[in-house]
Structure 1
Amino acid sequence: MEKKALLIIDVQVGMFIDDFPVHNGKQLLENIKQLISKARTTNTPIFFIQHNEPAGQQLEYGSKDWEIHPELLPSEVDMIIHKTTPDSFYNTPLEEELKKHSINQLVLTGIQTDLCVDTTTRRAFSMNYGLTLVSDAHSTYDSGDLIAQQIINHHNQVLSFFANTKKTSEIEF
């Protein structure tokens, strides 16, 4: 039997700073809010993955930038998983919590496409989870060679070997 969960990776205040904001941040937040609403109407579990960095870093644990973006505040029933690497499973209770809820299908969203979203997608695939990457609900930043949209497009194409790719409007829970 298929049991889904929504994963929201690293959508934290510090990813939206004015002088270096995540690509298409307003639309990203709107799409994730739509997914949260859909998930909540079907009682689908929602997992917020929150990146923790050491003192002095952008996402320093407990800092304002570290907080989950206020437009996506978790409810009391949502799970918050803390991580310190791009892999949402590595040294975290994520797998244990997914098993506890008998979840075998993951709907993936978040930041950064080319780091934490990519790594978590590949890891979940190797752990035999069924995966859907929401193609318009993950984002990143321009790099020295590529603009963010090129990175997103590339990862949507490459990660389609590991996950189904669907737009927000196509997701059902």
Structure 2
Amino acid sequence: MNTALLIIDVQNGMFLEEEPVYNGDILMENVKKLISESRTNGTPIFYIQHNESEGEPLETGTYAWEIHSEIAPLQNDSIIQKTTPDSFFNTELDAELKKRGIDQLILAGIQTEICIDTTCRRAYSLGYKVTLASDAHGTWNSDPLTAEQIIQHHNRTLRFFAQVNPTSEIIAKQFV
């Protein structure tokens, strides 16, 4: 199987808010581990970057919109621009993956119940074998659920569409 790593919406704005993404430091460390292992093993990395309109938090071209500096893409990495929670909808992602013969995806990033959930389900529906890094995606508290509850719920629910494993297990099993 040919694998790619998808880093979804890990943009500066997610860490600038009054209430930054839950466990952002842990999320970032695990994303960096996945990126490092991908680079070591020649696994393609696709950064998915959310674009919003003028005046919105992730306004295209602003500092908040930029991919977080701790995980800045390299020249060989791909950046896919999106405007909806679905990383495949009206983007070149599926075509780029198919062009490279990729049939397996590792997902990490932000926001668990929106972009991670939607992209995971869509990738599965498109026939990709999906692995979700259970400790490398995040969100915020909402009423009535805490961020931790949302993450745990999605790690259980998305098992119907993906293998859900912690970063250490993904690295041990998928990059050998």
Same fold (TM over 0.5): yes
1:16 maps to: 15
Question: Runs of at least 4 residues of structure 1 off by over 2 A?
Answer: none
2:77 maps to: 78
1:107 is the counterpart of 2:101: no
**How many pairs does the alignment contain?**
172
1:126 maps to: 125
1:156 maps to: 155
Q: Hey, what's the Cα distance between the residues in 1 that align with 2:25 and 2:88?
A: 27
**C-alpha deviation, 1:18, in angstroms:** 4.6
1:98 maps to: 97
Q: Hey, what's the Cα distance between the residues in 1 that align with 2:17 and 2:51?
A: 21
Q: Hey, what's the Cα distance between the residues in 2 that align with 1:101 and 1:18?
A: 36
Q: What CA deviation, in whole Å up to 9, does each residue of 1:143-170 have, x standing for no partner? A: 0100000000000000001000110001
**C-alpha deviation, 1:78, in angstroms:** 0.3
What secondary structure does 1:47 align onto? strand
Q: Hey, what's the Cα distance between the residues in 1 that align with 2:9 and 2:123?
A: 16
1:144 is the counterpart of 2:164: no
**C-alpha deviation, 1:89, in angstroms:** 0.2
1:39 maps to: 38
Query: Which amino acid in 2 is paired with 1:158?
Result: T
In the superposition, the TM-score normalised over structure 2's length comes to 0.97
2:115 maps to: 116
Q: Hey, what's the Cα distance between the residues in 2 that align with 1:138 and 1:18?
A: 17
1:30 is the counterpart of 2:25: no
Over the matched positions of the two proteins, sequence identity in percent amounts to 59
What secondary structure does 1:6 align onto? strand
What secondary structure does 1:54 align onto? coil
Q: What CA deviation, in whole Å up to 9, does each residue of 1:102-132 have, x standing for no partner? A: 0000000000000000000000000010000
Query: Which amino acid in 2 is paired with 1:14?
Result: G
Query: Which amino acid in 2 is paired with 1:168?
Result: T
Unaligned runs of 5+ in 2: none
Q: Hey, what's the Cα distance between the residues in 2 that align with 1:25 and 1:120?
A: 20
**C-alpha deviation, 1:87, in angstroms:** 0.1
- When the two chains are superposed, the root-mean-square deviation of aligned CA atoms in Å is 0.6
Q: What CA deviation, in whole Å up to 9, does each residue of 1:47-98 have, x standing for no partner? A: 0000000000000000000000000000000000000000000000000100
Q: Hey, what's the Cα distance between the residues in 2 that align with 1:19 and 1:123?
A: 31
What secondary structure does 1:151 align onto? helix
Q: Hey, what's the Cα distance between the residues in 2 that align with 1:74 and 1:30?
A: 16
Q: Hey, what's the Cα distance between the residues in 2 that align with 1:70 and 1:17?
A: 13
